[in-house]
Homo-oligomer: A and B are copies of this chain.
């Protein structure tokens, strides 16, 4: 690999001039620039990004940290960010914390060690220690998905209250009153907001929520399955189940199938968030989906803005909250 000194020797200029020629070509005379360029081309010189990062104290890499890169929700966002970053000559490093806070912390520290230019983070936790940690990160960053109280950073996400409210309203319109809710972990903002959307919409309609109809599915498949089973073995079963995310809702569908209940004939089902191949799942589940492309786009623009605009770090953090979209299926029956 040729180095900058090789180029300098061939072009018969100093090393610093070569460096200058590449970083700000305007400040080098046309003749010298030409000599340097052809010398570089002759030996196939490419600047070593590692050495550049070390000297500059920052790289052109962006860290992307989520709990599960396999989740299509994050996948769409990632793709948007990658494409936008590439247009601005930045490079996305994807990492996966598996939802573990410790690992997330390690990953972020490692990325900062790599002198990343920016960070897109889907927070995996909450609480004072966590907030303190995130606040200690000096790198330009955008948080998304999970709004964490106390973190004063740009945030991009969906209106989860509305998501819960829309589906509840839909079920009420169809005549359902015995509506069950499989909730997520209440310390998560998305989960508590979705739940609040459910509860308040029920209250507005004057329908009482049966405490036995609210179960905790932890946003996971296994807990969702157990929670659904608890709902389905009750003597007075709900007529509709609202899953706070895709995993618990599909787990509920599986539980119904295994117990021999038909959806929607016996029990209606609705869920928040899309899932891959939802169109071939029978029945097609009525759902509210997030505009992942738009979310990804906003995250990308905001982050690149903070990275490239020198006086952007004086701008106060801002929240971007998008409305989700209702996608009717055939999993909800009128009663």
Give the B-binding residues of A (Cβ under 8 A).
46, 48-51, 53-54, 69-72, 75, 78-79, 82, 91-96, 98, 110, 113-115, 250, 253-254, 257, 275-277, 279-282
Q: Which residues of B contact A78 (CB under 8 A)?
A: 69, 96
A-B contact pairs, 6 of them (CB 8 A): A50-B54, A50-B115, A69-B70, A94-B96, A276-B277, A281-B282
Question: In the complex, what distance in Å separates the CA atom of A29 from the CA atom of B48?
Answer: 37
Determine if A110 and B49 form an interchain contact, defined as CB atoms under 8 angstroms apart: yes
CB of B95 within 8 A of CB of A250, answer no
B98, B113, B281: the one contacting A281 at CB < 8 Å is B281
Bound state CA distance, A49 and B275, in angstroms? 39
Residues A95 and B98 in contact, CB atoms below 8 Å apart: no
Structural contact, A93 and B96, CB atoms closer than 8 A: no
A288 to chain B minimum Cβ distance, whole angstroms, is 18
Q: Which of B50, B71, B75, B92 contacts A50 (CB 8 A)?
A: B50
Of chain B, the residue at the smallest CB distance from A76 is B70
* Residues of chain B with a CB closer than 8 A to A50's CB: 50, 53-54, 113-115
In the assembled complex, the Cα of A295 lies from the Cα of B75 at a distance in Å of: 23
Contact (Cβ within 8 A) B94 A69: yes
A54 to B1 Cα, complex, angstroms: 14
In the bound complex, residues from chain B placing their C-beta under 8 Å from that of A75 are 69-70
Which of B51, B70, B93, B276 is within 8 Å of A95, CB to CB?
A: B93
Closest chain-B Cβ to A11's Cβ sits at a distance in Å of 22
**In the bound complex, how far is the Cα of B279 from the Cα of A51, in angstroms?**
50
Chain B residue contacts of A95, Cβ below 8 A = 92-94
For A115, give the chain B residue with the smallest CB separation. Answer: B50
A277's contact among B92, B98, B110, B277, by CB below 8 Å, is which? B277
CB-defined contacts of A257 to chain B, threshold 8 Å: 280, 282
Give the docked Cα–Cα distance between A279 and B251 (Å). 9
8 Å CB contact of A98 from B69, B71, B79: B79
Complex contacts, A282 vs chain B, CB 8 Å = 257, 281-282
| Distance A115 CA – B51 CA, assembled complex (angstroms) | 11
- In the complex formed, the residue of B with least CB distance to A54 is B50
